[in-house]
Amino acid sequence: MNQRLQGKLALVTGGASGVGKETALRLAREGARVVITDLNEDGGHAVAADLGEGALFLRHDVASEADWAVVMVTVQERRGALDVLVNNAGILIAGHIESLSLEHWHKLLRVNADSVFLGTRAGVAAMKERGGSIINIASISSWLPIDGYLGYGASKAAVAAITRAAALHCRKSGYAVRVNSVHPDGIWTPMMEASLRGAPPGIKPEHLLYDVKRNPKGRACLPGEVASVVAFLASEDAKAVNGAEMRVDNGVLGMGL
């Protein structure tokens, strides 16, 4: 494995499962020391054990300003200066304009959007003297209308907007901090699996997101496919990539699901 991240320190939120777990493992394989955070303590400690020496797990409510302050201080004190931040933690709640409750709307914005605002702000503050890379996990729903996930799409559109504005601010301020977003289509994770019912006969569960007549080869992204793009953005190979929306969607743009 290419050691593009040798000597780097990375923080991955939502690292106990799914994309966060695969991202943490990929960054570690490329040489980074990795800190993961999550509310899932059992899962987080298990992933930290898989990561090996130098890894650290911290319990973290990503929508809490106080928690972000504690996490950033703890990372600095126990591991040193941060080089890479992956704002990955998020939730998925279904609902269209008639069915989504205000409670669920607020929860989606809090966990998916407030967390990225807080994390990006904390990351810029931690990295602006030395430089670094912030990667925010968004979604194709940032720009592709998906009527059954209205609140989720709105929260991920906010992630994209935060990313673009923060990248521009860093460029104008002369900070060597790059801020980019990654936009997968549906990712086959435990969160996605839990949101879908059983597949019709002859259709694999990971193909449920797609109209099989229009898109017979459609399938959800795998977590490792997203992690490989995150690793690129974290590395010096992407040193000229800033404010970009990296689509990991196998050509869904213009086609829909």
Is 135:84 a contact under the CB 8 Å cutoff? yes
Give the dihedral sign, CA 221/235/42/37: negative
Nearest partner of 26 among 40, 12, 44, judged by Cα: 12
Please choose, from the candidates 187, 107, 102, the residue with its C-alpha nearest in 3D space to the C-alpha of residue 141. Answer: 187
User: Could you tell me how far CA 53 lies from the centroid of its own chain?
Assistant: 24
Is the Cβ–Cβ distance between 5 and 32 less than 8 Å?
yes
Residues facing 56 on adjacent strands:
35
Could you count the other beta carbons within 10 Å of the beta carbon of residue 158?
19
Structure tokens at 158: 């906010």
152 an active-site residue?
yes
Tell me the angle at which helices 150-173 and 115-127 cross, rounded to the nearest 10 degrees: 20
Rounded to a whole number of angstroms, the CA Rg of the chain reads 18
**Residues forming the active site:** 152
